[in-house]
Structure 1
Amino acid sequence: MKLCYLENILPLKRSRLFTDENGEIVRVMTEKSPAHCILKINSFSMFQAVNGTEFSVGGYTWVLSVSLSKGNKKEKGDHLSVYVTLVDKLAPGSFVDVVLRFFVYDHLRDAYLSVLDVREKRYHALRDKWGVPKFLPISTFKKKDYGFLVDDCCVFGAEVLVINNQQVKISTMSIVGENCDKYTWRIESFQSLSDRLCSPEICFNGWSWKLDLRPKGDSSVKGEYVSLFLHLENSSKLTHGNKLFVKYILRVKNQRQGQDCQELVHQWFSASAKSWGFKSFISLKVLNDPWKGYLVNNTIVIQLHIQKMILLRDVESDVN
């Protein structure tokens, strides 16, 4: 629907919404007042252009301006133009992306005509001003039926949605290990072990691990279960919110040709979540049963199989 001139399709009802032929300018009547800036102009006919006072949004300072734009021979008359100017001076290479919304007050209906430009505008050192050059035809603005100009007084407004791309967090995911070699940990004299035992360091593709065994169980299951965890030793590599997804199997081998006791784990490791596993991995009653085959000659065999490691990292961070 073409919307160069509004006399026939101005959305005078709040429920009606219109876009331009490209779907980039959206016009709708709303009772909602502008959230960031309101500019009231008395004796409008005396001015060709009016600048409002400064207002702040998103850590930046802005100014709303309204001006009269003369039409050329190909256009049908003059227009009101509205702009928002960035007051702050940006350094070369810096920018601010925004979405702009402009308003004009309808005194007759006690509502605002809202004009939203859905296209993002980029402010930078060479471009500090954006707006809608053909906000309203002057002929429409001055018509008494619309209520925009009453007793030579009018009200404009603006909202600025700051979308600063310089603050966008960009992350990547990459596989850093697949089907790593199985690590087997053989522990003798199991029944005489103390409360905790850690395996030697295990290295896979630059990541260091240890198995953390609690032979008598973690405090909450002490005396009932064996607890088993996988601990990431070099978690200091996971700074700035980086995380490591690990798919792995923890296994207590059956030494009599029976079925192993094992658990498949999918977990994210991070600087604050360095260990994952099970407080109740296998019951001590089952483990100590000589017919089950898990504890033979007071020896237990634990196995770790890391099947996949995926690193989630910030583009700007440095994880080797």
Structure 2
Amino acid sequence: MADEKLSIMCSNVSSTTMQSWRERPPSSYSIKVQNLSQFVSSTLYSDGKYQSRRFSSGDYKWSLIIYPKGNDKNNGSGFISMYVEIDNTSLMSTPPTDVYADLRFFIFNRKENKYFTIQDVESKPFNALRTMWGIPRVLSLDTFNDRKNGYHFDGDHCEFGVDIIVAPPPTKWEIISFDEKVSVPKFSWTVKNFSKIKENPHASNSFSIGGRRWVLKMYPKGYSTAGKWLSIFLFAADGEILKEDEKVNVKAQLKVEDPHGSNHLSYELNCWFKEQGSGYGWDHYVSIDELRKSYLDKEDTLKVEIEFKVVSATKYSSLT
């Protein structure tokens, strides 16, 4: 038999399980039975089950429950059935919460000198209404009882066990919202005497939209192509501080107006602001030649408008 053999199967209780072999013993609890026939006999008057003493795992108290002849009430006839039950006192919390746990059940095989392992691929929610979860069809009794298969050893000994891996409650999260009804979404910027501007960049006044302060910056001499293109970028205004790893999504339309008609030049902006001092926009918004021909009025004035469609906001849990 291979060192590790995996298979996926669906039982009759609509539970997907995974089987494997493992050398390492169970980490949460183990029951070593030294007389299997007497162990089975002892369950005849306890609803066919044996329930272990309580043990701790993941800050909760549990019991391992074994049906050595199968749990008929849970479609486990002809199989060994295994479950874990959480102690009710472990669930005392306000407000009540589910305890999610991954379960792995084990039966030792002396022939392989390994543990037959079966686990449900989904975490199980333990709560006041459902304190017990498990697998009704762990291993067929025909396989288990056939001594040549190795599950009985040293006369009439056998071993069962369980790993309970408790998922901690979620403590790190973020909630992202996208405001699609931005109040006062537009900002208009009238740039007079465009041809005489010497600053590069030339900045607008700061303005507040979507709970943030912004500023537009244009490069009349171009950002990376000297004198050939008008570059325009949107920046977070000075003093608008992003938290560590914070991101703000902006969807907006920026328009350079046509003073001679309605042939405005518009582009859509869709970006995430992630770093202080970063700007987003267009290096080659419009060529300076086309700008002078079509978008400057007779007084050498340029009109720019930005309309915000969406501004995101994010709430974070503590990162400590």
Report the TM-score when normalising by structure 2. Answer: 0.65
8 A contact 2:182–2:209 mirrored in 1: no
Map 1:140-151; keep pairs closer than 5 Å: 141-151=144-154
Residue 35 (structure 2) aligns with: 45
Residue 15 (structure 2) aligns with: 24
Alpha-carbon RMSD across the aligned residues, in angstroms, is 4.9
8 A contact 1:78–1:138 mirrored in 2: yes
Say which SS state the counterpart of residue 37 (structure 1) adopts. coil
Query: What is the distance in 1 between the residues matched to 2:100 and 2:266?
Result: 52
8 A contact 2:202–2:219 mirrored in 1: yes
- Tell me how far 1:139 sits from its aligned partner: 7.7
Among 155, 177, 180, the alignment partner of 2:181 is: 177
Residue 255 (structure 1) aligns with: 259
Query: What is the distance in 1 between the residues matched to 2:71 and 2:215?
Result: 77
Say which SS state the counterpart of residue 35 (structure 2) adopts. helix
- Tell me how far 1:301 sits from its aligned partner: 1.9
The code of the aligned residue for 1:269 comes to F
The code of the aligned residue for 1:45 comes to N
Map 1:66-77; keep pairs closer than 5 Å: none
Say which SS state the counterpart of residue 22 (structure 1) adopts. coil
Query: What is the distance in 1 between the residues matched to 2:238 and 2:180?
Result: 15
- Tell me how far 1:92 sits from its aligned partner: 3.0
Q: Structure 2 vs 1, CA of residues 17 and 251 (structure 1 numbering), >3 Å: closer, same or farther?
A: closer
Q: Structure 2 vs 1, CA of residues 124 and 72 (structure 1 numbering), >3 Å: closer, same or farther?
A: closer
Among 74, 97, 102, the alignment partner of 2:100 is: 97
Among 180, 186, 191, the alignment partner of 1:187 is: 191
Residue 4 (structure 1) aligns with: none
Query: What is the distance in 2 between the residues matched to 1:263 and 1:275?
Result: 16
Residue 5 (structure 1) aligns with: none
Query: What is the distance in 2 between the residues matched to 1:232 and 1:255?
Result: 28
Deviations 1:93-136 (A, max 9, x none): 47642221222244446765332235533468999986558755
Among 262, 266, 291, the alignment partner of 2:293 is: 291
Deviations 1:61-112 (A, max 9, x none): 99895767798998979966454879xx788347642221222244446765
Q: Would you say 1:301 and 2:291 are equivalent positions?
A: no
Say which SS state the counterpart of residue 282 (structure 2) adopts. strand
Unaligned runs of 5+ in 1: 1-12
8 A contact 1:96–1:123 mirrored in 2: yes
Map 1:161-176; keep pairs closer than 5 Å: 161-167=165-171, 169=173, 171-176=175-180
Report the TM-score when normalising by structure 1. Answer: 0.65
Q: Structure 2 vs 1, CA of residues 282 and 166 (structure 1 numbering), >3 Å: closer, same or farther?
A: same
Say which SS state the counterpart of residue 291 (structure 1) adopts. helix
Residue 9 (structure 1) aligns with: none
Q: Structure 2 vs 1, CA of residues 53 and 316 (structure 1 numbering), >3 Å: closer, same or farther?
A: closer
Q: Structure 2 vs 1, CA of residues 227 and 27 (structure 1 numbering), >3 Å: closer, same or farther?
A: closer
- Tell me how far 1:213 sits from its aligned partner: 1.8
8 A contact 2:230–2:285 mirrored in 1: yes
Q: Structure 2 vs 1, CA of residues 16 and 242 (structure 1 numbering), >3 Å: closer, same or farther?
A: closer
Q: Structure 2 vs 1, CA of residues 126 and 285 (structure 1 numbering), >3 Å: closer, same or farther?
A: same
